[in-house]
A and B are shown apart, each in its own frame.
Chain A
Amino acid sequence: MKNDMSLRITMDILLAVSVIFGWWYISIPFGLICLWMFPYYGEFIVFGFLYDEIFTMGRGLGLWSFAGLLVTTAATIAFSIFKLVVRW
């Protein structure tokens, strides 16, 4: 349990750094791995929101301004359903 939490915090830090530097091609695969590994990985949605706030300031491009939030939310919902089906 303790190891799981340490691993989760480590992955969170790595994800946060990749989001800050805008390395979305690292953030997305990392996030998907975390969604698979950890239960209720809501941090991914928070990181998607953070991504939009940093790089678009949440405005100016219509729906594209929320691309990070939409992608991470969709991935979280899809993975939750997928995990329920596979691990039943």
Chain B
Amino acid sequence: MTYLRQRSAPGRRRIGAAAAAVAALVLAVALVQWRAPRFFPAIASAVADPFWRVRFAFQNGALESPDELLAENASLKLQVAALDGRLASSTAALLEAENADLLGLLGRATTTRSAYTAAAVLARPPFSPYDRLILDLGSDDGVSTTTLVYAPGGALIGRVTGALGHTSVATLFSSPGQSYPVLIGPQSLPATAVGKGGGHYSAQVPHGSGIAPGDAVSDSSLHDRAFGTVVSVTTDPSDPFDSVLFALPADPYGLRWVLLDISKP
């Protein structure tokens, strides 16, 4: 006796139903992403946040005894006092004061109050991709997508590109595709720093401009903040421009804290 195969049709139907369900799911996710772009990041960050904070606590001595922490605190206070003393008498401090005086004389004294707030780096390169930092402050703390990010020491390194309630994402200017106007070398040549990833930038300057490795790069603001240091200059006689490669003054892979400029008028 011959029987017809009856399993192929239901099997095909099942595959069709599964494909339709997957397509509907993808469509729903795309729709939510389009209409409410913060929905999924908020959920993902809420899940990840406790893990990051626990790791950060462990990395920063949560398991050390109170005596050890008190001793470390006292030692750090001594170091801060010593550095304060050295800074007050340094050329940089004198130049900073002179710069502020000159800006005041020219009527360009800052009208905004910079409020630097320290933010903990919960995740950072190379653990996070794309030269981005996950910070432990968010929109509830006054962080917005206009907030600038500085390394300890005052070097401008990036900008907040996404802020949720208690966390935010900062994109370093060295991230691929990012650009920022800068001034290079002792002659303050204007150029555009283009992010290359890994804490490095490139810029084009006119051929024979005298830029050399070790020259300072500053942001193009009146405050002349540090932005990087020239690592190498590539010259091609047939090219009217030289390629300048420069790096962040701070190591982005070692950052544990950054400063956020939450300026208020």
Contacts and interface: CB of A to CB of B under 8 A. Distances in A.
Interface of A: 17, 20-24, 49-50, 53-62, 64, 67
B58 interface: no
Interface string B38-55: 101101110110011001
Interface of B: 29, 33, 37-38, 40-41, 43-45, 47-48, 51-52, 55, 123, 127-130, 132, 134, 161-162, 164, 169, 171, 175-177
A55 B123 contact: yes
Contact of B40 (A22, A55, A58): A58
B171 to A, nearest CB: 6
Nearest to B163: A57
B48 A64 contact: no
B177 A61 contact: yes
A62 B175 CA distance: 12
Contact of A55 (B37, B128, B164, B176): B128
B177 A64 contact: yes
B130 A55 contact: yes
Question: Could you tell me the dominant secondary structure of chain B's interface residues?
Answer: mixed
Given A17-B51, A20-B48, A53-B44, A59 B37 contact: yes
11 contacts: A20-B51, A23-B127, A55-B129, A55-B130, A55-B132, A55-B134, A55-B169, A56-B129, A57-B41, A64-B177, A67-B130
Given A24-B129, A49-B29, A61-B171, 7 more contacts: A21-B55, A21-B127, A49-B40, A53-B40, A55-B132, A57-B37, A57-B169
Nearest to B38: A57
Contact of B132 (A17, A20, A53, A56): A56
Contacts of B44: 50, 53-54
A59 B123 contact: no
Nearest to A55: B128
A52 B119 CA distance: 22
Contact of B175 (A20, A57, A61, A67): A61
A22 B132 CA distance: 11
A55 B121 CA distance: 13
Contacts of A49: 29, 40
Given A17-B51, A21-B123, A54 B41 contact: yes
Contacts of A59: 37, 161-162
A67 B177 CA distance: 15
Nearest to A65: B130
B47 A58 contact: no
Contact of A61 (B40, B43, B123, B130): B130
Nearest to B47: A20
Contacts of A56: 129-130, 132, 169
